[in-house]
Amino acid sequence: MRTSLIATGLLTILAATASLVTTRTQAAPPAVGAAAPAFSLEDQKGETHKLADFRGSWVVLYFYPKDGTPGCTTEACALRDNIFAFKRAGATILGISVDDVASHKAFAAKHSLPFTLLADPTKQTARDYGVLVKMLGVFELAQRDTFLIDPQGRIARHWANVDPKDHSDMVLKELLALQAPKPAG
């Protein structure tokens, strides 16, 4: 038990200082306008979700380092608090980390998260989106990046290394701007 607490504490410190000690472990993220990489992952209930399941809808796909860490909790709770605005805009929120299903289940329950958290224990989806980073040359975690995917399955926006506190409002504002009617010209 004590070893587990120490390991969790170490991972929390590492996630909080990720930008100081990380190196990208794969190619760059997909470009705006490119097709979003497909995935098939289990959620916190053990149900499988594919990106194709959301075709025709906007998707806020946010990657985060670790369940239960301060920044990840701040970001998840801010998205939770804006859930009705995202739903009114026709957007689905999906969170992804390299944690397992059990970790996601506990994290979602503890913070009453009303959206899907997807487990990427093989780290393949994080690699495909170019967000897998190695911390201190040892731990591989997802970088805190968000992709806004349009109803056609293309990357509409990408935010890298986001500030978890203000990020939900920023994504919602950009989503609404993209949906706004364009002036005839």
59-86: string of b/e by CB count within 10 Å (b at 16+)? bbbbbbbbbbbebbbbbbebbbebeeeb
18, 60, 61, 72: which is the annotated catalytic residue? 72
Neighbours of 155 (CB within 10 A): 20
Q: Is 77 a catalytic residue?
A: no
Beta bridge partners of 24: 133
Tell me how far CA of residue 62 lies from CA of 9, 126, 136, 176, in angstroms.
23, 10, 23, 17
Separation of alpha carbons 82 and 135, rounded Å: 31
Residue 49 burial (C-beta neighbours within 10 Å; 0-12, 13-18, 19+) = middle
Q: Enumerate the active-site residues.
A: 72
